């Protein structure tokens, strides 16, 4: 990959940012498509996010901003326009510069996660699903699971205000199919998902207990680094089927190509 004065710029914002996997997937894609562009990670501390995004948006050769934990909810409010998915979920993971110079927000986490599930043979249609985490990624995954036909969705998060707001947004589109709780309620779920940051650090507690799941459940984690989180290790040891975080990102690549017009 050669970087020159004509190279277009993309960034991925996070706090921390050492765990991001998108440069390792997007930069080879740019090279494969012969696109003169590069994606670089930017460590954006939460208190400085608005100032950092404003500065990035002023860079004339910057075409896109990818967003990871914990900025997805805040990023939705830093765009000039928002997609229907962003309005439903209240979060964004990609911002695109429009021809008029304004910034358009989209969220591909949910569709990428569901695409990865289906590709691995774990179609959520007509299934009962448990989801830990009602934050930016969790909200997007919740909407995508319901859009993909999940029969029942139980969402757990200690933030009751966040839970109530998410259920109201989901019920407006898929009425009566979502329940919420402050504590994990995995009863009856054949697919269970960790959409929290728990697992990024080795001393993190588990988001829910694998030993309380139905036999041979599908246990999915959106944490990408480490690939083998404690949750997935313990789930696999109990005989559950595990689904890795990288699948969510891989499932988004085609959507990113279309969104950014990469060919």
Catalytic residue IDs: 72
152-156 and 8-14 strand pairing? unpaired
Q: 233: part of which helix (H) or strand (E)? A: helix 230-237
Query: Which residues make beta-bridge pairs with 131?
Result: 155, 193
76 phi/psi in degrees, rounded to 5: -60, -35
Q: Within 10 A of 93 (CB to CB), how many other CB atoms are there? A: 29
- CA–CA separation, 5 and 57 (whole Å): 18
Spatial contact of 135 and 75, defined as CB atoms under 8 Å apart: no
Spatial contact of 141 and 109, defined as CB atoms under 8 Å apart: yes
Q: For residue 178, give Cα distances in angstroms to 86, 211, 213.
A: 19, 24, 19
152-156 and 128-132 strand pairing? parallel
- Strands (E) located in the chain: 8-14, 37-43, 62-67, 81-82, 94-97, 103-106, 128-132, 152-156, 178-181, 191-194, 218-221, 241-243
Task: Encode 128-162 in three state secondary structure.
Answer: EEEEECCCHHHHHHHHHHHHCCCCEEEEECCCHHH
113 SS3 class? helix
């Amino acid at each position: 990959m050669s970087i020159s004065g004509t190279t277009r710029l993309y960034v991925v914002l996070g706090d921390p940012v050492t765990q991001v996997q998108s440069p390792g997937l997007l930069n080879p894609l740019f090279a494969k498509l012969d696109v003169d562009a590069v994606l670089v990670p930017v460590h954006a501390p939460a208190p400085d996010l608005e100032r950092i995004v404003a500065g990035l948006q002023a860079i004339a050769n910057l075409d896109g901003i990818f967003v990871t934990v914990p900025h997805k909810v805040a990023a939705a409010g830093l765009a000039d326009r928002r997609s229907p998915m962003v309005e439903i979920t209240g979060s964004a993971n990609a911002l695109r510069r429009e021809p008029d110079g304004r910034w358009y927000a989209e969220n591909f986490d949910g569709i990428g996660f569901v695409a990865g599930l289906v590709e691995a043979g774990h179609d959520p249609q007509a299934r009962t699903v448990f989801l830990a985490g009602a934050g930016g990624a969790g909200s997007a995954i919740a909407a995508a699971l319901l859009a993909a036909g999940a029969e029942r969705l139980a969402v757990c998060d200690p933030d009751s205000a966040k839970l109530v707001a998410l259920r109201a947004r989901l019920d407006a589109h898929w009425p009566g199919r979502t329940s919420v709780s402050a504590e994990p309620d995995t009863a009856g779920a054949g697919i269970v998902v960790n959409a929290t940051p728990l697992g990024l650090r080795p001393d993190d507690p588990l988001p829910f207990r694998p030993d309380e799941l139905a036999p041979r459940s599908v246990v999915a984690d959106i944490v990408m680094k480490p690939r083998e989180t404690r949750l997935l290790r313990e789930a696999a040891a109990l005989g559950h089927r595990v689904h890795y975080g990288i699948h969510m990102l891989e499932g988004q690549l085609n959507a990113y190509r279309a969104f950014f017009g990469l060919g």
